[in-house]
C-alpha cells in the first residue's frame, strides 16, 4: 500500500468510494417520497453551498481570471454532469428495483472513457483494454441473465443507467480540457453550482406549485432530510473533496482502482438495508464486471497498439 504516510490518503479514497457506493442506497430509499428531479435539485443546492464555502476558504481562484471560453466549457461540463448524469442515474434508480444493477452498469464508465480518450485525444490502447471490455460486457450479461425471464423487470432502467454512463464520458471530454488549468475543487464547485440552474427549469416545468410545496414539505420530514443531507454532505461535497485531495497524493491510477469498489459497497448496503436479493449469477456477474473494468484501467508500459 506504499509508505505509511500515504495510509491516510488511501483511507480518504476508501471513505469517498464508500460514500459514493452508499449514495445509490440513499437515493433509492428516498424515491418513494421525493421525485427524482426534486431530490437531485435539493442535493445540488446543499452540496453547492458546502463546496463554495470550502472553495472560498481553502482555494482562491478569482472568477475574473477565468476566460469567457472556459466559462462555456464549464457550462458544457455541468450539462453532462451533474445535470444529465444525475438525471439518468436517478430516474434509473426510480425504475430498477435493485440499486446494485445500476451501480455495476455505472461502474463501466472507465471502459467508455478509455475509448473516448483514444479517439479524441489519441491515447494508446492495449490488448488488455480490449480484454477488459469483453469481460465487463460478459459480466453485465451474466448479471442480467436472471431478468430475461422476469416480465416485470424494467429494462428502461438499464438503458437509463447507460445514459448516465455516456453522460459521464461527455463530462470527461470537457474535463480533459479544463483539468490542467484549474484546481479540481474549483471545477467541482462550479459544475455543481451550474447544475442547479440546469435543474431549476426542469423542476418548475415538471411540478405544479402545489407539487413543489408538497416536495418541500416532504423535505422537512426528519427521516427524509437526514438522507438528503447525507447525499449532499457526504456523497457530493465531502466525497469529492476527499477523492481529489487523495488523488493529488497517490495518483490517478491507484485512485481509479478504488472506484471499482463502489458496486461492492452498494451491494453490501442494499443487502443490509433494502433487503436486495443476491442470487449466484448476480454475484458472479458483478465480480466479472469489476474484473473487466480493472483490465480496462490497466495500462502496461510499451504495449500500446494502434487501431
- Residue pointed to by grid coordinates 416485470: 152
> What is the spatial distance between Cα 225 and Cα 43, in angstroms, rounded to a whole number?
10
Q: What is the pTM of this model?
A: 0.88
Residue 211, CB-side half-sphere exposure with 13 Å CA sphere? 12
> What is the spatial distance between Cα 178 and Cα 171, in angstroms, rounded to a whole number?
11
Question: pLDDT, tens digit, for every residue of 196-207?
Answer: 999 999 999 999
Provide the Cα torsion 197, 110, 252, 6; round to 10°: 100
- Residue pointed to by grid coordinates 462550479: 190
Listing DSSP states for 239-297 in one string gives HHHHHHHHHHHH-HHHHHHHHTTHHHHHHHHIIIII-----HHHHHHHHHHHHHHHHHH
How many separate helices (H) and strands (E) can be counted in the chain?
A: 15, 0
Listing DSSP states for 98-109 in one string gives -HHHHHHHHTTH
Question: pLDDT, tens digit, for every residue of 65-97?
Answer: 788 899 999 999 999 999 999 999 999 999 998
Long-range contacts of 252-260 (CB under 8 A, 24+ apart): 253/297, 253/299, 254/13, 255/13, 256/110, 256/297, 257/294, 257/297, 258/10, 258/13, 258/14, 258/16, 258/17, 259/17, 259/20, 259/107, 259/110, 260/107, 260/290, 260/293, 260/294, 260/297
Query: What is the chain's pLDDT, residue by residue, as a tens digit (307 residues)?
Result: 556 667 898 899 999 999 999 999 999 999 999 999 999 999 999 999 999 888 888 766 665 678 889 999 999 999 999 999 999 999 999 999 899 999 999 999 888 888 888 888 787 888 888 888 899 999 999 988 877 667 677 889 999 999 999 999 999 899 888 888 888 888 889 999 999 999 999 999 999 999 999 999 998 899 999 999 999 999 999 998 888 888 878 876 677 778 888 999 999 999 999 999 888 988 999 999 999 988 887 766 554 444 4
Bridge partner residues of 305 (DSSP): 125
> What is the spatial distance between Cα 5 and Cα 12, in angstroms, rounded to a whole number?
13
> What is the spatial distance between Cα 87 and Cα 212, in angstroms, rounded to a whole number?
18
> What is the spatial distance between Cα 154 and Cα 97, in angstroms, rounded to a whole number?
8
> What is the spatial distance between Cα 43 and Cα 50, in angstroms, rounded to a whole number?
11
Using DSSP's 3-state secondary structure scheme, residue 235 falls into helix
Angle between the N-to-C axes of helices 280-297 and 252-259, in degrees from 0 to 180, rounded to the nearest 10: 170
Amino acid at each position: 500500500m506504499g509508505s505509511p504516510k500515504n495510509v491516510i490518503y488511501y483511507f480518504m479514497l476508501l471513505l469517498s468510494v464508500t460514500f459514493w457506493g452508499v449514495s445509490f442506497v440513499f437515493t433509492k430509499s428516498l424515491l418513494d417520497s421525493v421525485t427524482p428531479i426534486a431530490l437531485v435539485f435539493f442535493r445540488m443546492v446543499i452540496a453547492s453551498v458546502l463546496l463554495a464555502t470550502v472553495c472560498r476558504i481553502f482555494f482562491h481562484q478569482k472568477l475574473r481570471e477565468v476566460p469567457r471560453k472556459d466559462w462555456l466549457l464549464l457550462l458544457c461540463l455541468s450539462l453532462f454532469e451533474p445535470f444529465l448524469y444525475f438525471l439518468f442515474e436517478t430516474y434509473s434508480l426510480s425504475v430498477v428495483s435493485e440499486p446494485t444493477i445500476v451501480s455495476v452498469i455505472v461502474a463501466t464508465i472507465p471502459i467508455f472513457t478509455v475509448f473516448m480518450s483514444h479517439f479524441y485525444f489519441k491515447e494508446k490502447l492495449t490488448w488488455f483494454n480490449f480484454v477488459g471490455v469483453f469481460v465487463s460486457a460478459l459480466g453485465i450479461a451474466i448479471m442480467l441473465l436472471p431478468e430475461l425471464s422476469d416480465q416485470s423487470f424494467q429494462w428502461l432502467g438499464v438503458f437509463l443507467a447507460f445514459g448516465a454512463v455516456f453522460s459521464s464520458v461527455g463530462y470527461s471530454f470537457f474535463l480533459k480540457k479544463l483539468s490542467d488549468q484549474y484546481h479540481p475543487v474549483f471545477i467541482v464547485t462550479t459544475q455543481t453550482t451550474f447544475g442547479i440552474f440546469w435543474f431549476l427549469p426542469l423542476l418548475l416545468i415538471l411540478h405544479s406549485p402545489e407539487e413543489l410545496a408538497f416536495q418541500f414539505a416532504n423535505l422537512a420530514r426528519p427521516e427524509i432530510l437526514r438522507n438528503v443531507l447525507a447525499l449532499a454532505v457526504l456523497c457530493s461535497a465531502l466525497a469529492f473533496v476527499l477523492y481529489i485531495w487523495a488523488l493529488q497524493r497517490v495518483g490517478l491510477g491507484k485512485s481509479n482502482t478504488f472506484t471499482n469498489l463502489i458496486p461492492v459497497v452498494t451491494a453490501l448496503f442494499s443487502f443490509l438495508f433494502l433487503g436486495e436479493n443476491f442470487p449466484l449469477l448476480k454475484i458472479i456477474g458483478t465480480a466479472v464486471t469489476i474484473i473487466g473494468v480493472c483490465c480496462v484501467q490497466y495500462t502496461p508500459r510499451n504495449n500500446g497498439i494502434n487501431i
